[in-house]
Structure 1
Amino acid sequence: MTDQKPMGKLAARAATKGAKREAKKRELAASAIEALKRYGYANTTLRDIAAQSELSLGMLHYYFENKEQLLIYCVRLYKEAFAADIGARIAGLETRESLFQAFAEGLAASIVEDAETHRLWYDIRNQALFDPVFQPVVAEIEASLMELVARIAGDGTDTLPVPVLYGAVDGVFRHLLERQLVDEPRSVQDLSEEFRSLLALTSKA
């Protein structure tokens, strides 16, 4: 019994220390991602990130062993927030029309507001074809995105199978993202109509 209280204090201190470390990593990642999304994986080193983010190289190395670890952390954080936003938009909706509308608007808004960050996601996904270090996080993120698509598909009786539907949505998202970055940017409303048209086509009903 006498050891329980000291051990409890140690556990609490360890938890506090871990929380502070995680908060600092998030803070660093928020600064670093600005450089990463601007220049991409291949054209950026930790030294570049440190310079662009006004962070010390030593600080980055303390929290992230290398550029790959930092990139994985940044992309995971962003995609978690993206999935959470889309999930919140479609939460509680039951009709097919309302789900399609909310889902389309969420995808469109994300392209308009965060195009460069999504570009970084496609960069790391392409790298995963060549570098196995990225494959686990890509698989993890794609699984979470496929879960969102599954909620749109419902029981699947009158829509395409979830993997096919995910591929269709991802393909259109990738195309519209590229056009948003390269051509004249379009509004959320215009992009939303593109996604709504796609979703309507995927329904067999």
Structure 2
Amino acid sequence: MTATRPVDKFDRRRDELAESALLTLGEMGYARASLREIAGNSPFSHGVVHYYFQDKLELVIYSVRHYKARCVTRYDAVVRDSASAGALVEAFAAKLAQTIREEAPMHRLWYDLRTQSMFEEALRTAITEIDAALEAMIWRVIERYATLSGRPPAVTPAVAYGMLDGLFQQALLAYTAGGEPVLDGLTTQVRAVLPLLVAPAAAAPAPL
């Protein structure tokens, strides 16, 4: 049997702490959750948490990076498996709705931290890097949609991300207040917006 290296044990425990911290952060938000509060809602003592993380900021950054590392591949199966532009739109819209339904607290935390990063410089680098990875994730969807449509993208990656992220954030806010029924509206919006992100179809030549 191969012994686990000390660095592996250290990283594994940090991951466990991150998973636990995310539950509290997702419910309470960044400002309200202290390091002691996070420890109190986890199987780990405050001393253990403090041993692995210098302060709340380090724990929060590590936790969000840990979570978003999984998120940035969320739509890769949609890109891989969609055989037509229409199928991609439906699969992408369904996946957006699913992630709100299943992980709303984590998404609320993300938008909370992104707003906080405008005021707290220590958060800014990590949030900017994660945002860039999410933009690249969305752009893979748009490029595949463009290929399946036979039309090139009509916008930049930043514009595509801004438009779809805006729809997602609005749906998340509405879902928090109104629950499941609002997610049908997100699907309708995605169906309307994706065709706007690629070049218009060429007009048929006028009859002679």
* Aligned partner letter, 1:191: L
Mean Cα deviation higher: 141-150 or 168-177: 141-150
Gaps of 5+ in 2: 201-208
Once the two structures are aligned, what percentage of the paired residues are identical?
33
Q: Deviations over 1:29-76 (max 9, x none)?
A: 111111111110111100111112242001111111111111111111
**1:78 corresponding residue in structure 2:** 67
Shift of 1:188: 5.6
Paired residues for 1:148-187 under 5 Å: 148-154=137-143, 157-186=152-181
Shift of 1:197: 2.4
**1:133 corresponding residue in structure 2:** 122
Distance 1:125 1:106, change over 3 A: same
Of 36, 49, 70, which aligns to 1:60?
Answer: 49
* Aligned partner letter, 1:24: R
* Aligned partner letter, 1:29: A
Q: Secondary structure at the match of 1:44?
A: coil
* Aligned partner letter, 2:171: L
CA contact (8 A) 1:105 1:188 kept: no
Q: Secondary structure at the match of 1:75?
A: helix
- Relative to the length of structure 1, the TM-score reads 0.84
Distance 1:114 1:152, change over 3 A: same
Q: Secondary structure at the match of 1:31?
A: helix
Q: Distance in 2 between matches of 1:99 and 1:149?
A: 13
Backbone CA RMSD of aligned residues: 2.2
Greater percentage in helix: 1
Q: Distance in 1 between matches of 2:73 and 2:29?
A: 24
Q: Distance in 2 between matches of 1:198 and 1:161?
A: 14
**1:147 corresponding residue in structure 2:** 136
Q: Deviations over 1:64-94 (max 9, x none)?
A: 1111111111111211212222223322545
CA contact (8 A) 2:154 2:198 kept: yes
CA contact (8 A) 2:138 2:161 kept: yes
Q: Distance in 1 between matches of 2:138 and 2:168?
A: 13
Q: Distance in 2 between matches of 1:92 and 1:166?
A: 21
Q: Distance in 1 between matches of 2:40 and 2:153?
A: 52
